[in-house]
Amino acid sequence: MNDPFYAAQLQAWERSAHLRRLPEDYPDGLWIRRGEQCLWNLSGNDYLGFAADQDAQQAAAQAAAGLPLTASSSRLLTGNHAAAEALEQDLAQAYRRPALLFNSGYHANLGLIPALFGKETLILADKAVHASMIDGIRLSAAKHLRFRHNDIAHLRSLIEKHQHQFRTIAILTESVFSMDGDLADLPALAALKREFPHIMLYVDEAHGFGVYGRDGLGVAQATDTLPEIDIITATFGKAAASYGAFAILSPSLKAYAVNRARTLIFSTALPAAQVAVSRAMFARVQSARAERERLHRLGQIFRQHLHAPDGAPHIVPQIIGTDADTAAYAHKLQGHGFYCLPIRPPTVPVGTARIRFSLNAALPEAALQDLLAIVSA
């Protein structure tokens, strides 16, 4: 089919510098390889440095040895495996609530939100939640409204206005917002739940898992709000340097999701070998206190140097403004050996194009100092 609409749209995106292409730069531990050139990887999500750690990768390979490389079926048919049950038990022991595996964080949010929230639910979602949550909301039958980013007063006003119209009000947020590196006020959200009846808290810990909490369980653990959050989703594909995702929820919600979450029911399950890798990496996440401390120290140094507000240690944005200026600045950083990518609309609002510096615990302090010298020039 030769439809000129698609070609014209691609040309328009290219003229506006919004056309995406798959990169030909490949990750290699702490580096990105561009032909013969090596650049420090400051655009990935390997927050604890496990993807670059030979001991961690060897442990992962040993865990997967001899296990099937495909499930060939959904878990509800013939795709379940003892490895999945074991990982869910480890997660449940850590979080003190049942766990349910998903193929990705996107699968988790896309499946759980429409499965759990119907016409009797009002969803109140932070304006800055991830695309996977937005798409899950769109697929649901629930009425939904967005509250201003991290604006508890605005959220409260929406609850007060609508609290008697719905059986359940579901508040959806991320613990660490991936583009701004700021944190949700989970204690304030928990206080709202205690104040108003029929509120459920749904928190995506994709960027908090591994980085926060004594055992790396996320911002909810760090803020002592774990028991008050009804649903937590997180991914193994970032700080845990593996693949797949999970949800933490009550026994009844888990059973309900197994019966209604379409991304679980109709997807081929994760291979047992991959699940075993995630289990090995989850054990390392829980014990990675030194890595977390180092990451927080590096992030504090970097934020102070940029005069950035308090926020996550591993996600530090530098807002440039225009798309062209941001692309030029990224090119400059890459020329100095730092693989930093421009983040532009529609990922972020128009006029707020930025570099999203993504730090990890294995970054040498000398490299950080070199980066600081460049951003100060």
Give the amino acid at 332: K
Q: Measuring CA to CA, which residue among 199, 197, 130 is closest to residue 171?
A: 199
**Of 77-81, 194-198, 347-351, which gets the smallest average pLDDT?**
347-351
For the cut 70, the answer to whether the pLDDT of residue 306 exceeds it is yes
45 is catalytic: yes
Question: CA end-to-end span of the chain, whole Å?
Answer: 51
287 is catalytic: no
Q: Which residue has the higher pLDDT, 307 or 126?
A: 126
pLDDT of amino acid 239:
98
Q: 135-169 b/e with 16+ CB inside 10 Å = b?
A: ebbeebebbbebbeebeeebbeebbeeeeeebebb
Please tell me which residue in 46, 53, 126, 174 is annotated as part of the active site.
Answer: 174
pLDDT of amino acid 1:
61
Q: What is the mean pLDDT of residues 166-190?
A: 97
Q: What is the mean pLDDT of residues 111-132?
A: 97
CB-side exposure of 202: number of CA atoms within 13 Å? 27
For the cut 70, the answer to whether the pLDDT of residue 366 exceeds it is yes
C-beta of residue 230 within 8 angstroms of C-beta of residue 250: yes
Please tell me which residue in 140, 178, 242, 267 is annotated as part of the active site.
Answer: 178
Interval 46-94: pLDDT, tens: 999 999 999 999 999 999 999 999 999 999 999 999 999 999 999 999 9
C-alpha 108/C-alpha 101 separation (Å) is 8
Q: Measuring CA to CA, which residue among 315, 291, 292 is closest to residue 303?
A: 315
Please tell me which residue in 25, 88, 126, 204 is annotated as part of the active site.
Answer: 204
pLDDT of amino acid 45:
96
Q: What is the mean pLDDT of residues 186-210?
A: 97
130 is catalytic: yes
Please tell me which residue in 193, 238, 254, 314 is annotated as part of the active site.
Answer: 238
C-alpha 155/C-alpha 129 separation (Å) is 14
Supply 200's token pair.
């459920």
85 is catalytic: no
Q: What is the mean pLDDT of residues 335-343?
A: 93
For the cut 90, the answer to whether the pLDDT of residue 314 exceeds it is yes
For the cut 80, the answer to whether the pLDDT of residue 359 exceeds it is yes
Task: Please report which residue ranges of 140-237 form alpha helices under DSSP H.
Answer: 152-162, 186-195, 219-222
Please tell me which residue in 81, 107, 193, 207 is annotated as part of the active site.
Answer: 207
Please tell me which residue in 107, 130, 193, 314 is annotated as part of the active site.
Answer: 130
174 is catalytic: yes
pTM over 0.85: yes
For the cut 80, the answer to whether the pLDDT of residue 17 exceeds it is no
Q: Measuring CA to CA, which residue among 301, 299, 345 is closest to residue 324?
A: 345
Q: Measuring CA to CA, which residue among 210, 208, 129 is closest to residue 170?
A: 129
pLDDT of amino acid 24:
87
**Rg of the chain on CA atoms, in Å:** 21
Q: Measuring CA to CA, which residue among 30, 29, 41, 31 is closest to residue 357?
A: 41
238 is catalytic: yes
Supply 167's token pair.
């059986």
Strands, E assignment, 82-220: 99-102, 121-126, 143-147, 168-174, 199-204
C-alpha 342/C-alpha 88 separation (Å) is 37
For the cut 80, the answer to whether the pLDDT of residue 377 exceeds it is no
Q: Which residues contact 172 (CB under 8 A, 6 or more apart)?
A: 113, 123, 124, 125, 126, 129, 133, 137, 202, 204
Q: Report the percent of the chain where pLDDT is more than 90.
A: 88
C-beta of residue 40 within 8 angstroms of C-beta of residue 339: yes
From residue 47, how far is each of 68, 87, 102, 279, 332 by CA, in Å? 28, 21, 21, 18, 24
Please tell me which residue in 25, 41, 43, 45 is annotated as part of the active site.
Answer: 45
Q: Which residue has the higher pLDDT, 267 or 344?
A: 267
Supply 366's token pair.
């000398």
Q: How confident is the model at residue 113 (pLDDT cuts 50, 70, 90)?
A: very high
For the cut 90, the answer to whether the pLDDT of residue 243 exceeds it is yes
